[in-house]
Amino acid sequence: MKRPVNILLRLLLVAIPLLLALAPARAQNVVYAGQTSDLGVEEVTGTTYTWELYTDDVSINFAVVPGNCPTANAYFNGSNIGPTVSVTWMIPGVYYFKVNATDENGCSNLRIGMMTVLNALPFAVIDDPSQICRGDEATLVINLTGTGPWSIDLFDGINTTTYNNIISGPLVLTLNPQVTTSYTVTSVTDAYGTNNNPSNTVTVIVNPKPGSSRIYQYEPTSK
């Protein structure tokens, strides 16, 4: 389960003749694999903006070499032309993006930004549990994404319980709630990082057992 994040970058462009020796201004930004970011410039009337993506290669002459990033690594969502574009970053690594601005007179200017893509944050997805009767055990199945080993914090509305060194998923817990209880994972950590908002919330409904009553022996009346 991946949650998109939009990041708007503001790079002011002035339409001037393109110089191959132009030292690019590099804006550094960080996202997680699978996230989407918006890249934008301050729009100037009559100016056309074209964007390109590059893998990490500092030897590239960005002024003359077209974008070389495979779509499996990162791709534009829709057009790469305009003052604002949307990019989804799929594979961890370092990338560069270029925007080239061309005005009505054909004069151009470019700027380069750098994007660092980290391994995706881990998530926990809890399956919907079955109802139980009071005194019975409940089963909680917690599915984990990312790269193990994991540790999680499970909150039941009152207490937080930590489970460490989870080698493989899903994590199956046997619990014994006495009343209807909601559960959520408030933190999950894998080999690469920690997510402090990682989980859905589920509720175990605990039904009361029928009340006890006296048992009477039935004796038929004689006629």
* pLDDT, tens digit (0-9, with 9 covering 90-100), for 87-115: 999 999 999 999 999 999 889 899 999 99
- Domains annotated for the chain, with CATH where assigned, are 9-118 (2.60.40.10), 124-207 (2.60.40.10)
pLDDT at 63: 87
pTM of the model: 0.66
Flag whether pLDDT at 2 surpasses 50. no
Average pLDDT, whole number, for the chain?
85
Using CA atoms, how far apart are residues 200 and 186, in angstroms rounded to an integer? 9
Does 28 have pLDDT greater than 60? Answer: no
Q: Which residues pair with 88 in a beta bridge?
A: 36, 75
Widest CA span of the chain, in angstroms? 118
Would you say the C-alpha torsion 145, 147, 149, 151 has a positive or negative sign? negative
- The candidate with the shortest Cα–Cα distance to 36, out of 1, 10, 7, is 7
The pLDDT tens digits for 166-210 are 999 899 999 999 999 999 999 999 999 999 988 999 999 999 987
Is a pLDDT exceeding 60 seen at residue 47?
Answer: yes
Do 62 and 54 meet the contact criterion of CB atoms below 8 Å apart? yes
**pLDDT score of 3 more than 50:** no
Q: Picking from 12-21, 68-77, 79-88, which range would have the lowest pLDDT averaged per residue?
A: 12-21
Picking from 47, 41, 45, the residue whose alpha carbon sits closest to that of residue 12 is 41
- Amino acid, single-letter form, for residue 190: D
Overall average pLDDT of the 55-84 stretch: 91
User: By percentage, how much of the chain surpasses pLDDT 70?
Assistant: 81
CA dist 176 to 105, 154, 201, Å? 74, 14, 18
Confidence class for position 221, pLDDT limits 50, 70, 90: low
- The CA-CA-CA angle for residues 14, 17, 23, to 5°, reads 75
What pLDDT, on the 0 to 100 scale, is given for residue 12? Answer: 36
Answer for the pair 12, 106: CB distance below 8 angstroms, yes or no. no
Name the helix (H) or strand (E) containing 100.
Answer: strand 93-102
With 80 as the cut, is the pLDDT of residue 211 above it?
Answer: no
